[in-house]
Structure 1
Amino acid sequence: MHAPIPTRHPYLAPEGPRVLAHRGLVTTDAAALGVVENSFAAVAAAHAADVDYVESDCHLTADGTVVLFHDDDLSRVTGDPRAIADVRLPELEELMAERGGLVTLAQALDAFPELRFNLDVKAERAAEAVGRLVAPHAARVLVTSFSDDRRVAALKAAHAAGAALRPATSPGSSTVAQIVAAQRLGLRTRLRRLLSGLDALQIPERQGPLPVLSQGLLRAAHAAGVEVHVWTVNDPAQMTRLLGRGVDGLVTDRADLALAVVNGR
């Protein structure tokens, strides 16, 4: 008897390879004008470039609003040392006004109904709110986090909020490490169990000097119906090489270049 073919989540329904615009798209010209990552302008630029997927990050403001922002604090992006969690939404909007504009998760989901969002839950206190917000949009959202606890909390919140289906998901760092180890040690039963319930395995090609991606891992993931997306890939030659190896998605700061590579294959 053949094993059943895993059902593909609607998030992954279009044919790949997939280009995931890492924190939106900030071109050289846009950066010269002060536009920054994860801004409304960066998401809009990715959409205008015909990207289907935007990878972004979620934090919660002091007044309880989920915003797209990577860092825990504002220092790198705005020069303000305060934590996102300590700043209220109106003040954050003012700080981002000349940097491409702040975008909340609710605004992103409403303003770009054709985009699919890959959301990394960066803060524990944001997990439940992220889950509630994405519940009506679960077919076009993937929820992930470096912390599996945050990821699972967001998925549970989406279910509790009445999501018609579970958002797509990719594992946290601990589970990724276990998956890589199980594949290398030939622990097939454990590997299948770890991959069960996942839709994508989002990994770097290497972690420092250690390779993470391998052909064995690709084969195991694909056999389980799990896609493999590699981050963060900005060099066209590396993009071409990874796609040639069978990678399903590229997380990239240069979605414009990645689209050209994918479309030129």
Structure 2
Amino acid sequence: MAGRLAGLQYFESTTPRVLAHRGLALEAPENTLLAFAHALAIGVTHIETDVHASADGVAVIAHDTDLSRVARRPDPVGALTVAELAALDLGEGQHLPTLAEALDAFPDARFNIDLKSAAAIEPTVDAIRAARAEHRVLLTSFSERRRRAALALLPDVATSASGPRFAAALLASVVRGGPLVRAALRGLHAVQIPTRAIGLDTVTSARIRAFHDAGVEVHVWTINEASEMARLLSLGVDGIVTDRADRALEVVATLE
């Protein structure tokens, strides 16, 4: 596994990894520079985040398609310009940051970036290139088409399995087909998964071994309870994606 991950700054730190899901939003709005700063301040090295494109083609950090939950207005993120999005008050003096802002503000952080739309692909690639951040980001998407399109433009970045790629690997693991699992995960660096998918438990000792044998890390989302974090880490997962990075760091510390 080390061979495939070698040279990628994203994987340089030791495992298990704590990936702060949209930052640490206990005292900050999610997916903001303040939430990211809070996570990094307590010792997190990896930020999990999401990217859409603004109306004028800038990569903007936001999870939802529209602004109803975070800004109490119904507009789609993609209907507003980056200036209009920056003017929205999300609380605590925060706005929707651009990906460029986040990469510039936190030059040592690793970013796990979920491409939420096809329109976000080229602006995301442009922001990563401008920041020279290729080796400290991981690009992923539930859509295999979006993931492939991004990797065609940035072939040297880390990437994790899309929904279809992971489903194929999971089904291959049911028949204990090591070669089939490896084929399903060829060219990938991680699987980032829930604990259940397509009616199956995804995180078992046997499946983790199969995924590791295929050369990928196993990161599980979104885990917020300490007991479940400990259980998953005991099985051998490499990373926990969590809203409670503070809690996860405490659990990881008990393993050292």
Please, what TM-score do these two structures have when normalized by structure 2? Answer: 0.93
Give ranges in structure 1 of 5+ residues lacking alignment.
Answer: 160-165
Counterpart contact for 1:129–1:157, Cα < 8 Å? no
Q: Name the aligned partner's letter for residue 142 of structure 1.
A: L
Deviates more, 1:192-201 or 1:203-212: 203-212
Q: CA deviation at 1:7?
A: 4.5
1:179 aligns with 2:169: yes
For 1:152, the equivalent position in structure 2 comes to 148
Measured in 2, the distance between the counterparts of 1:209 and 1:225 equals: 25
Deviates more, 1:126-135 or 1:229-238: 126-135
| Superposed CA offset, 1:103-125 (max 9, x none) | 11001111101100000000111
The counterpart of 1:64, out of the listed 43, 57, 81, is 57
Identity %: 44
The counterpart of 1:109, out of the listed 90, 103, 113, is 103
SS of the aligned residue for 1:256 comes to helix
Q: How does 1:200-215 map to 2 (within 5 A)?
A: 200-207=190-197, 210-215=200-205
For 1:162, the equivalent position in structure 2 comes to none
Counterpart contact for 1:6–1:224, Cα < 8 Å? no
Measured in 1, the distance between the counterparts of 2:209 and 2:12 equals: 20
Q: CA deviation at 1:6?
A: 4.0
Give ranges in structure 2 of 5+ residues lacking alignment.
Answer: none
Q: CA RMSD, aligned part only?
A: 1.8
Q: Name the aligned partner's letter for residue 104 of structure 1.
A: T
For 2:29, the equivalent position in structure 1 comes to 36
Q: Name the aligned partner's letter for residue 114 of structure 1.
A: D
Q: CA deviation at 1:101?
A: 2.6
SS of the aligned residue for 2:31 comes to coil
Q: Name the aligned partner's letter for residue 19 of structure 1.
A: V
Relative to structure 1, is the Cα distance of residues 47 and 94 closer, same or farther in structure 2, using a 3 angstrom cutoff?
same
Measured in 2, the distance between the counterparts of 1:137 and 1:151 equals: 17
Please, what TM-score do these two structures have when normalized by structure 1? Answer: 0.90
The counterpart of 2:120, out of the listed 122, 126, 143, is 126
Aligned residue pairs, count: 251
